[in-house]
Amino acid sequence: MAISMSASKFATYRLCRALIVLAALAPVSALGADVLPLERGRYFDVGVACESPGKATVFVYDGTGFSHEKTNCSLDRLTGSGGVYAFRETCAYRRRSWSVFPTAVNEFSSTFQVHGRREFTLRRENEGADMTGRYRLCTSR
């Protein structure tokens, strides 16, 4: 049984196949650069040993935003240079035991100062509260 296809449909089919192949062959870095000049990985408070962080604040930077034990945060409206960045941070909270809803969303106005590719200071402002912390990359574990 032969399948007939018009010339225009065949051309569209070939173009789609070519785009799929090119997307599969493209390096990951070409698909999207990291939004901040940091190495990807786990960042702990600078006052905590990497080997035994306990319940210390741990951020995981994945190139597009930060996640934490109970949150995923995405960054937008990123501006800045020279190691200091400002952005709007939207964080979705998971596993709130006291809530019947699966997530809640908070927005922060944040300032981020990079101290090399492995350390940063994060300052969040939300509803008058000022939360500031300094974190470093921990490669052990």
pLDDT of residue 20: 34
Residue type, 93: Y
Residue 68 falls inside a structural domain? yes
19-58: per-residue pLDDT in tens?
333 233 333 333 457 888 899 999 999 988 888 877 777 8
73, exposed or middle or buried, with CB in 10 Å at 0-12, 13-18, 19+? buried
CA angle (123, 129, 134) in 5-degree steps: 25
Residue 61 falls inside a structural domain? yes
Residue 10 falls inside a structural domain? no
95-123: per-residue pLDDT in tens?
666 665 656 777 888 888 999 999 999 88
How far is the C-alpha of 86 from the C-alpha of 76, rounded, in Å? 9
How far is the C-alpha of 4 from the C-alpha of 21, rounded, in Å? 24
Residue 26 falls inside a structural domain? no
pTM: 0.65
What CATH number does the domain containing 73 carry? 2.40.128
3-state secondary structure of 2: coil
Q: Which domain holds residue 87?
A: 33-138
